[in-house]
């Protein structure tokens, strides 16, 4: 895989050439991706970029053969046709087509939460204690090992689908049943009670953190995409605490081999310790989404954000 390097800022939209904005796809997060993609497309066009919508990976591969796109803005979310898991990145590497964001390794590793956590653990980066379980495993024994309260989630999904907080053993079977509706292993980890924070990364710039304060129990699918009453405080922390959190987020991002842009989800416990949850390599870009909010606080409006993400598609030798 070619090394990616930061290039000088692009000033003329023609330098990007014809851009395919790939969205939608066949993952559980299709609708969110379509919403993100429409916003990105509109913003790039408003900045004079020759941008075109393409729905999903098969249509993109067809279009690359016939339509001669110069690069791809990947705003697919999730795995299995979601384009956030390294599959699309591998296909584009093979075709020598530049694309935004992380490469094969960073995408695949970030999608697999248990394996990402093992990398962090090996580097001494804090992540909640966990067990990864194949289907049919003894979930009650695993829960005893992790301890209550815990959280159950699919190992490789996003958008909080299939995520349940479990405070006592009687709630466990139902939580496992819900997570098992999604493909892959289950992840069971210690529930961190405290504050939810997320940190956006754009190039080598770490954006101000956001402290997410959902009205309900946690930042579930409803709080993410539907409810209008979730509070977003940005920056989420002050002084040294904010500096430390941003440094941790960048270290976590780099540890997984991520590149270009992304978002790191963190829980902060009541003692003020940060715990890494996951990295999103193609984070949401809807009107409710977090990276656009953090960028705005950093003085980067939505159009400029899309432009700068598109700049991450430039690589050495291209």
Ligand X SMILES: Nc1ncnc2c1ncn2[C@@H]1O[C@H](COP(=O)(O)OP(=O)(O)O)[C@@H](O)[C@H]1O
Site string for ligand X, 251-270 (x = CB under 6 A): --------------x-x---
Catalytic (active site) residue 39: no
Question: Could you give the 3-state DSSP secondary structure of residue 19?
Answer: strand
Catalytic (active site) residue 240: no
Catalytic (active site) residue 265: yes
Cβ closest to ligand X, residue 39 vs residue 190: 190
Dig out the tokens for 23 from the structure. Answer: 């969205």
Cβ closest to ligand X, residue 39 vs residue 110: 110
∠ CA 161-162-168, nearest 5°, is: 140
Whether the CB-CB separation of 135 and 197 falls below 8 Å is answered with no
Q: Calculate the alpha carbon distances from 157 to 30, 204, 266, 292 in Å.
A: 12, 26, 17, 22
Pick the piece of the chain touching ligand X (CB under 6 A) from 1-9, 37-45, 49-57, 190-198.
190-198
Answer yes or no whether residue 236 interacts with ligand X by CB under 6 A. Answer: no
Total of chain residues touching Mg ion, rule CB under 5 A: 1
Pick the piece of the chain touching ligand X (CB under 6 A) from 35-43, 47-55, 117-125, 157-165.
157-165
Answer yes or no whether residue 277 interacts with ligand X by CB under 6 A. Answer: yes
Answer yes or no whether residue 185 interacts with ligand X by CB under 6 A. Answer: no
Near ligand X by CB under 6 A: residue from 189, 260, 274, 300: 189
Near Mg ion by CB under 5 A: residue from 265, 285, 292, 310: 265
Which residue sits closest to Mg ion, CB atoms considered?
265
Phi, psi for residue 167 in degrees, rounded to 5:
-95, -25
Q: Nearest approach, Cβ of 69 to ligand X (angstroms)?
A: 29
What is d(CA 23, CA 29) in angstroms, rounded to the nearest whole number? 10
Answer yes or no whether residue 69 interacts with ligand X by CB under 6 A. Answer: no
Backbone Cα Rg of the chain: 19
Cβ closest to ligand X, residue 219 vs residue 259: 219
Q: Is 237 exposed, middle or buried (0-12, 13-18, 19+ CB in 10 A)?
A: buried
Q: Nearest approach, Cβ of 249 to Mg ion (angstroms)?
A: 13
What is d(CA 262, CA 202) in angstroms, rounded to the nearest whole number? 7
Catalytic (active site) residue 99: no
Near ligand X by CB under 6 A: residue from 191, 255, 266, 300: 191
The catalytic position among 30, 246, 263, 315 is 263
**Secondary structure of the chain: what % helix, strand, coil (to 5)?**
35, 20, 40
Answer yes or no whether residue 151 interacts with ligand X by CB under 6 A. Answer: yes
Catalytic (active site) residue 284: yes
Q: Nearest approach, Cβ of 262 to ligand X (angstroms)?
A: 12
Whether the CB-CB separation of 277 and 61 falls below 8 Å is answered with no
What is d(CA 136, CA 132) in angstroms, rounded to the nearest whole number? 12
Omega before residue 149 within 30° of 0, cis: yes
Nearest alpha carbon to residue 22 among 70, 67, 77: 77
The catalytic position among 25, 278, 302, 308 is 278
Question: Could you give the 3-state DSSP secondary structure of residue 59?
Answer: helix
The catalytic position among 42, 50, 221, 225 is 225
Catalytic (active site) residue 225: yes
Dig out the tokens for 19 from the structure. Answer: 């851009």
Catalytic (active site) residue 71: no
End-to-end CA distance of the chain: 13
Cβ closest to Mg ion, residue 44 vs residue 179: 179
Contact residues: Mg ion, CB under 5 A: 265
Contact residues: ligand X, CB under 6 A: 128, 151, 153, 157-160, 163, 189-192, 196, 218-219, 265, 267, 277-278
Residues assigned a catalytic role: 29, 159, 225, 263, 265, 278, 280, 284
């Amino acid at each position: 895989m070619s090394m990616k390097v930061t290039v000088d800022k692009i000033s003329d939209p023609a330098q990007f050439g014809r851009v395919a904005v790939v969205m939608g796809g066949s993952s559980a997060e299709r609708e969110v991706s379509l919403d993100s993609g429409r916003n990105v497309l509109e913003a790039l066009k408003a900045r004079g970029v020759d941008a075109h919508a393409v729905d999903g990976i098969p249509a993109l591969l067809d279009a690359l053969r016939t339509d001669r796109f110069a690069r791809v803005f990947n705003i697919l979310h999730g795995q299995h046709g979601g384009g956030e898991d390294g599959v699309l990145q591998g296909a584009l590497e093979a075709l020598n087509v530049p694309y935004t964001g992380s490469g094969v390794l960073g995408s695949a590793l970030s999608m697999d939460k248990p394996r990402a956590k093992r990398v962090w653990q090996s580097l001494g980066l804090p992540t909640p204690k966990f067990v990864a379980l194949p289907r049919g495993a003894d979930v009650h024994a695993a829960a005893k090992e992790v301890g209550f309260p815990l959280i159950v989630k699919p190992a490789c999904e996003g958008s909080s689908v299939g995520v349940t907080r479990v405070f006592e053993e009687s709630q466990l079977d139902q939580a496992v049943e819900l997570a098992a509706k999604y493909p892959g292993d289950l992840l069971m980890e210690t529930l961190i009670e405290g504050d939810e924070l997320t940190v956006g990364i754009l190039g080598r710039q770490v954006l101000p953190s956001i402290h997410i304060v959902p009205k309900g129990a946690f930042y579930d699918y409803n709080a993410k995409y539907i409810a209008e009453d979730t509070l977003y405080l940005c920056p989420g922390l002050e002084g040294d605490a904010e500096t430390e959190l941003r440094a941790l987020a960048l270290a976590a991002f780099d540890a997984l081999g991520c590149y270009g842009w992304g978002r790191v989800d963190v829980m902060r416990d009541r003692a003020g310790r940060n715990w890494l949850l996951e990295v999103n390599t193609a984070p949401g870009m809807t009107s409710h989404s977090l990276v656009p909010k953090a960028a705005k606080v950093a003085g980067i409006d939505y159009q400029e954000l899309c432009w700068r993400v598109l700049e991450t598609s430039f690589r050495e030798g291209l």
